[in-house]
């Protein structure tokens, strides 16, 4: 899950639920986003590259820069695994245009034009997320993407924290999670420009207890971790990124 535009300290202070589960399981103190603004950070996580994107333009403009590059979602599907994104307030699957409070710049699968059929099939509204969590049917690679009112972009950190509590409660109670098979990561796309792009990244799994990691990590570390979970080669700069798995002992 990805929050918006707040620093490590702001998230720790303004999101008490997230802070509490981070303390219970684990979090990184030196996790850096890649750049500003939002969109290239999302692309970096799922594609291992910003693809030269330096703005928040829609797929009609920036999908051509991504070209035929693969995403972590297509990596999963090609490996015979499952992938899905759950996008808050999205009107239609793999929606390529904004419809407030849905913002396509926060829905990275929509920018991988060569994967449009898979995106149409597995990029869905967030209403499907809680049911999948309760029934232990979350995918091998899944992203939960809140809308602009629930990700602290336009709404408050308190509102984002309340939404996160609602969405994560069934996940943390699920057999997939309690068995240790499911790892949940919560991060932010970027900071507010005040802290060198240092953001709170929480790593939630019962395999961790009060784990605080000071190792420098980046969004590309998440790209690498997803590939390691899938047992495939990390995409782009994920291949040389600091190793989240080793840092947290997972």
174-185 tens-digit pLDDT: 999 999 999 999
pLDDT of 13-52, one tens digit each?
999 999 999 999 999 999 999 999 999 999 999 999 999 9
Q: If DSSP codes are grouped into helix, strand and coil, which group holds residue 171?
A: helix
pLDDT tens-digit map of 103-137: 999 999 999 999 999 999 999 999 999 899 989 99
Q: pLDDT above 70 covers what percent of the chain?
A: 100
Q: Which two tokens stand for residue 70?
A: 């693969």
The pLDDT of residue 1: 87
188: number of CA atoms within 13 Å, CB side? 36
Report the C-alpha gap between 70 and 74 in whole angstroms.
6
Supply the DSSP string of 41-56, one letter for each residue. Answer: HHHHHHHSS-TT--S-
Torsion of CA 128, 134, 140, 146, to 10 degrees: 40
Q: What was the pLDDT predicted at 91?
A: 96
Q: What is the pLDDT of residue 27?
A: 98
pLDDT in tens, 157-169: 999 999 999 999 9
CATH number at residue 196: 3.40.720.10
Burial-class residue 117 by CB neighbours within 10 Å (0-12, 13-18, 19+): exposed
Give the Cα separation of 205 and 148 in Å (integer): 27
Question: Which residues span the domain enclosing 109?
Answer: 2-248
* Pairing outcome for strands 211-213 and 2-3: unpaired
Is residue 198 a contact partner of residue 41, using CB atoms and an 8 Å limit?
no
Q: How far apart are CA 15 and CA 164, in angstroms?
A: 9
Structure-token pair, residue 229 = 């979970």
**CA 17, 1, 241 angle in degrees (round to 5)?**
115
pLDDT digits (tens, 9 = 90+) for 41-100: 999 999 999 999 999 999 999 999 999 999 999 999 999 999 999 999 999 999 999 999
Going from the C-alpha of 43 to that of each of 162, 235, 238, 245, the distances in angstroms are 26, 11, 12, 21
The DSSP call for residue 141 is E
Residue with tokens 């997230």: 18
pLDDT tens-digit series, residues 201-218: 999 999 999 999 999 999
Number of domains in the chain: 1
Report pTM: 0.97
């Amino acid at each position: 899950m990805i929050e918006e535009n707040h620093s490590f300290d702001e998230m720790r202070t303004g999101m008490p639920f997230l802070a509490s589960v981070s303390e219970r399981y684990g979090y990184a103190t030196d996790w850096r986003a890649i750049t500003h603004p939002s969109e290239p950070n999302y692309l970096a996580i799922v594609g291992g590259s910003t693809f030269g994107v330096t703005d928040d333009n829609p797929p009609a403009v920036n999908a051509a820069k991504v070209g035929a590059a693969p995403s972590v979602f297509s990596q999963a599907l090609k490996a015979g695994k499952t992938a899905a994104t759950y996008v808050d307030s999205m009107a239609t699957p793999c929606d390529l245009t904004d419809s407030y409070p849905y913002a396509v710049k926060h829905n990275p699968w929509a920018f991988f034009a060569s994967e449009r059929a898979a995106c149409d099939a597995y990029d869905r509204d967030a209403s499907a997320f809680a049911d999948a969590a309760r029934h232990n049917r979350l995918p091998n690679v899944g992203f939960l993407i809140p809308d602009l009112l629930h990700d602290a972009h336009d709404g408050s950190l308190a509102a984002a924290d309340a939404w996160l509590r609602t969405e994560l409660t069934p996940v943390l109670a699920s057999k997939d999670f309690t068995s240790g098979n499911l790892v949940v990561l919560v991060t932010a796309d970027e900071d507010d420009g005040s802290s060198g792009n240092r953001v709170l990244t929480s790593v939630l799994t019962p395999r961790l207890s009060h784990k605080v990691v000071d190792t420098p990590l980046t969004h590309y570390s998440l790209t690498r971790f997803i590939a390691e979970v899938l047992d495939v080669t990390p995409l782009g700069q994920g291949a040389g990124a600091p190793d989240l798995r080793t840092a947290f002992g997972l």
